[in-house]
Amino acid sequence: MKAVQVHSFGGPDVMSLEEMVLPEPGPFEARVKVEAIGVNFVDVYYRTGQYQRPLPLIPGMEAAGIVDVVGPKCAGPAPGTRVAYAMQLGSYAEYTIVPTDRLVVVPDEISISDAAATMLQGMTAHFLSHDLISLGAGDTVVVHAAAGGLGQLLTQMLKRRGSRVIATVSTARKAELAAQAGADDVVNYSETDFASAVRRLTGGEGAAAVYDSVGLNTWRGSLECVRSRGWLVLCGQSSGLVPPIDPQLLRTHGSVILSRPSLTHYIANRGELNGRARDVFSWLRTGELRMRIDDVLPLGQAAGAHRRLESRTTTGKLLLVP
């Protein structure tokens, strides 16, 4: 089989498409024939070594495809079943090995492409909007990078829960997409100071929560946006790692609550995994949730996909196909 390998940490060019031995599943695992792979910023963190794993490694944390072979102690899903998964390293490949309790069956009404595009970011948006914070109807929240894959899904889910969403973006085109996702107000931070804009839009009070997936370039301004006893949620670091934060800053800004959550801890058991995936697929099926796929590229163009992701020119989800 072919798979993308990383032999040394670095830029996109450290990834190469190589021939590998077809892997065999263990007793409680399945081999999945991959048909679509979601590209996420976490893939960049593994490629660059921000998140450490032994080398060589196969990047990728999300995919959808068909169960090919199952281990001898697996109760299901059976070979031939359409499945998807997230938060399992190694998806940039024609075949992957996944524990069967981490696989979710894809409903017939959902395409493999949509399943691969929404598992990681869809379930992330789900726990961010439904479980991390107890938001009241009408609470104002800020969503950074609102035209990206996560940003568009998070905006839609927050609107379903009755929140007022202030979206931040970097271009006029991205402002259009954020508005289409349901944002009540859109701030182009390449033209104006977003912290001042949020304070103005909230009458000086600030937002109940700021969802910051940008990180280094925005976290301090995000803190300025949060109201007293509100939440600063660091859910990504596309511009770089956030430096250590002095806890006194949280006190002086109004007893702000800081969180750096991970989807891994919100799909820790089978019930959570199935429940989140079920909601995401159900909303896709009814049209209550829309996923914008920006482009679909061959697996051998993984480096190009990473360059586009890191340039922050994407407006939605990138997929790779074997």
Give the tens place of pLDDT for each residue, 223-269. Answer: 999 999 999 999 999 998 999 999 999 999 999 999 999 999 999 99
Q: Options 3.30.470.20, 1.10.3470.10, 3.90.180.10, 3.40.640.10; which CATH number does 2-122+269-321 get? A: 3.90.180.10
> pLDDT band for position 312 (50/70/90)?
confident
Residue 273 pLDDT greater than 90, yes or no: yes
Question: Could you tell me which CATH number the domain at 133-260 has?
Answer: 3.40.50.720
- Residues 119 and 117: their CA atoms lie apart, in Å, by 6
Q: Which pLDDT does position 317 carry in this prediction?
A: 95
Mean pLDDT of the chain: 96
Q: Which pLDDT does position 321 carry in this prediction?
A: 98
Q: Which pLDDT does position 313 carry in this prediction?
A: 85
The DSSP output letter for 186 is E
The H or E element containing residue 18 is strand 15-19
> pLDDT band for position 302 (50/70/90)?
very high
Domain range list for the chain: 2-122+269-321, 133-260
- What is the residue whose two structure tokens read 């609102």? 146
DSSP helix/strand/coil, 34: strand
Query: Which amino acid does the sequence have at 7?
Result: H
> Do 179 and 187 touch, CB atoms closer than 8 A?
no
The pTM of the full predicted model, rounded to 2 decimals, is: 0.96
C-alpha to C-alpha distances, 156 to 162, 202, 252, nearest whole angstrom: 10, 20, 32
Residue 92 pLDDT greater than 90, yes or no: yes
Residue 75 pLDDT greater than 90, yes or no: no
> Do 99 and 77 touch, CB atoms closer than 8 A?
no
Q: Which pLDDT does position 208 carry in this prediction?
A: 98
- What is the residue whose two structure tokens read 């905006």? 155
**pLDDT 10s digits, 128-182:** 999 999 998 999 999 999 999 999 999 999 999 999 999 999 999 999 999 999 9
User: CB-hemisphere CA count at 13 Å for 147?
Assistant: 22
Strands 164-169 and 185-188: parallel
Mean pLDDT throughout 33-41? 97
Residue 76 pLDDT greater than 90, yes or no: no
